[in-house]
Amino acid sequence: LWNKCLSIIRDDISEQSFTTWFSPIVPLKFQNNTLTIQVPSQFFYEWLEENFVSSLRKAIDHTIGRQGMLEYSIIVDKGDRKNPPLSFNLPTTNQQNSSKDFTNNPVAKSPFQFKNLDSLELDSYLIPKYTFDKFIEGDCNRLGRAAGMAVANKPGLTSFNPLMIYGGVGLGKTHLIQAIGNEIKQQFPEKFVLYVSTEKFTNQFVNAIRNNSIEAFTNFYLQVDVLIIDDVQFLSGKEKTQETFFNIFNHLHQSGKQIILSSDRAPRDLAGMEDRLLSRFKWGLTADLQQPDFETRIAIIQKKLQDDGIQIDFEVLEYLAHSIQTNVRELEGVIISLMAQASLTRKEIDLELAKSTLKSIVNEQEKELSVENILEAVTHHFSVELSTLQGKCRKKENVFPRQVAMYMLKELTNLPLKSIGYHFGGRDHSTVIHAVQSISEAMETDKSVEKTVKKLFNRFNLNAN
C-alpha cells in the first residue's frame, strides 16, 4: 500500500525532494482505514505537512479512498513536544527512540566561506580579541556568560541548544558569542565553528537563489559543528531566508550540533518571525545581557586601560563610570578618545582631561533641548550671528531666522512668551506671537519653509507638526 502511495507521490514532486523526504519514511501498519507511517522527527513531520500535504492526500485518496487517514509516528527528537497542528492526519503517537540523523552526507564544499581559495582553509570568522578573559563578568551578564562557558566546554551536549543571547546595543552580545566560538576552537580544534551575521547569511542566501545554488548553500551550512548567528532580529520579515534557516537549524540541532544566536530583543518581542522558528529559539536557554552596573563599569574601564598599560586615578575612573551608563560600546569609545587625547597632548589622563573629552563627545552625539542649543542650531543653519538674531535689523534675511528661532523656542520649550522675547534683545510678547503666527502660516503655504523648520526640529529628534 505504501509503495503505491510512493509511486503516486513520486510523480508529483522532484526526485530530490522525494529522496530526501520520502525514502526515510517507514510504513508501520494499516488498520481501520488508517495508514501509520514512521517519520524521523517532529521537524520531519512538520515539513511533510507543510510542503507535501496535497500529494499525501492525493496518494491516500487513490489508494484507500476519501475516508482514508494518515497517522504519523514520530521518533522523538530533542525538540519540543507540542501537539502537531491539526490537519487531515489523526493525532500523532510518539514513540520514544533516540534521535536519528537523516541529513545527507555533506556534498562538495561551497567556496563562499573560504579565506582564500588556494589554501581551502575553512574560516570561522572569529575575532581573536573577543575572549572570555576580556569579557568582564557582572550581575548584568552572569547567566549569559556562565551559559556561554558551559556551551564552550561541551558544545552540543548541554541542554543550552540553542543558546540565545539577547540585549540592547553595545551590551556585549557579539563579544560573548564570539568568545564562545574562540573557546570552542581552542578546546576542540577539529570542530568547524562558524560565525556569521544574519545580514551576511541573508546576502549569501539571496546570492544562492540568484545563482541557482541553494543546495550548495544549504549543504555548506550542514557541515558546521558550531553555528553562531549574530543579530537574528534581522531575519524579521524575510520569509524565504527564515525558511531556509529553519531547515538548517533543524538539521544541525538534530545531529547534535551547537547553535548560538544573538538578538537585540527577547524572542517574544521579535515581530515578523515565523512562530515555528521562534519556538525553536526557545528550545534551549535564553539569557539576556543588561546594562552594566557601576562596579562592572569600573571593572570594564580598568581592564581596557590595563590592557593598554595605562594607569589612572580612581577619581577619574569613578567619574567615567558615573558619566556613561548606557552601554559598554560608548564607554569604550570614551576611553579610546581619552587615550588618544592623552597621547596627542602628552598629558596624563586626569579628571580635567576626562571632563573635557567627555564633554566634546556628548555634545557631538545629541543636542540637548536648551535655549542655547536651539539658538545655536538656528544661527548655524542660516549662517547668521547670534547678535543678528538678537539685534534690531529689519532686513528680510535677518527677520526670517529670528522668527524661526522664536517659533522653535515657543514650540520646543515651556518658556513664557515674555521670556522668549527676553532672549531676543528684550522684545515684548506680542512680537513673539507675531513671529509664531508668521512662521506657522509660512509653513502651510511654503514647502521650503516647512522643510527648513522640520530639518531644524530634527536636530533635536522631534517632529514639527
User: Where do contacts with Mg ion occur on this chain (CB under 5 A)?
Assistant: 173-174
Tell me, rounded to whole angstroms, the distance of Cα 45 from its chain centroid. Answer: 30
Q: Which does 172 bind (CB under 5 to 8 A by kind): ligand ADP, Mg ion, none?
A: ligand ADP
* Smallest separation (angstroms) from Mg ion to the CB of 236: 16
Tell the residue number behind the cell numbers 525553536, with chain if given.
280
Reported as half-sphere exposure (CB side, CA atoms, 13 A), residue 281 has a value of: 28
Q: Which does 148 bind (CB under 5 to 8 A by kind): Mg ion, ligand ADP, none?
A: none
Closest CB to ligand ADP among residues 157, 336: 336
Closest CB to ligand ADP among residues 112, 132: 132
Closest CB to Mg ion among residues 72, 135: 135
136 binds ligand ADP (CB under 6 A): yes
Q: What is the DSSP code (8-state) at residue 225?
A: S
Between residue 328 and residue 347, which ones bind ligand ADP under the rule CB under 6 A? 328-329, 332
* Smallest separation (angstroms) from ligand ADP to the CB of 214: 29
Residues with Cβ within 8 Å of residue 5, at least 6 apart in sequence: 35, 56, 59, 60, 62, 63
Task: Sheet containing 193-197: give its strands across.
Answer: 193-197, 226-230, 258-263, 163-167, 285-289
The reply, when asked if residue 92 is annotated as ligand binding, is no
**CB of 5 within 8 A of CB of 39?**
no
Distance in angstroms (rounded) separating the CA atoms of residues 161 and 151: 8
Closest CB to Mg ion among residues 173, 253: 173
Task: Count the residues of the shown chain that bind ligand ADP, applying the rule CB under 6 A.
Answer: 16
Between residue 276 and residue 315, which ones bind ligand ADP under the rule CB under 6 A? 300
Distance in angstroms (rounded) separating the CA atoms of residues 286 and 421: 56
CA geometry: angle at 137 spanning 125 and 260, to 5°?
35
* Smallest separation (angstroms) from ligand ADP to the CB of 297: 10
Q: Which does 329 bind (CB under 5 to 8 A by kind): ligand ADP, Mg ion, none?
A: ligand ADP
- Residue 111: CB atoms within 10 Å: 10
Contact characters 370-389, ligand ADP, x per CB under 6 A: --------------------
171 binds ligand ADP (CB under 6 A): yes
Kindly tell me which residue out of 68, 144, 155, 170 binds ligand ADP, with binding defined by CB under 6 A. Answer: 170
The reply, when asked if residue 413 is annotated as ligand binding, is no
Short-list 138, 454, 144, CA closest to 300: 138
Measured between its terminal Cα atoms, the distance across the chain in Å is: 71
The reply, when asked if residue 174 is annotated as ligand binding, is yes
Between residue 116 and residue 135, which ones bind ligand ADP under the rule CB under 6 A? 134-135
Residue 429: phi and psi, rounded to 5, are -65, -25
Task: Sheet containing 26-31: give its strands across.
Answer: 26-31, 34-39, 69-75, 93-95
Closest CB to ligand ADP among residues 193, 408: 193
78 binds ligand ADP (CB under 6 A): no
The reply, when asked if residue 173 is annotated as ligand binding, is yes
* Smallest separation (angstroms) from ligand ADP to the CB of 357: 18
Rg (CA), the chain: 31
Q: Which does 141 bind (CB under 5 to 8 A by kind): Mg ion, ligand ADP, none?
A: ligand ADP
Segment lying near ligand ADP (by CB under 6 A), choices 117-125, 163-171, 190-198, 386-394: 163-171
Closest CB to ligand ADP among residues 197, 438: 197
Q: Distances from the Cα of 57 to the Cαs of 8, 20, 71, 114, 323, in angstroms?
A: 10, 19, 12, 44, 65
Short-list 295, 312, 394, CA closest to 353: 312
Closest CB to Mg ion among residues 71, 288: 288
Segment lying near ligand ADP (by CB under 6 A), choices 150-158, 173-181, 252-260, 436-444: 173-181
**CB of 456 within 8 A of CB of 404?**
yes
Q: Which residues are annotated as a binding site for ATP?
A: 170, 172-174
Binding-site ranges for ligand ADP (CB under 6 A): 134-136, 141, 167, 169-175, 300, 328-329, 332
Q: Which residues are annotated as a binding site?
A: 170, 172-174
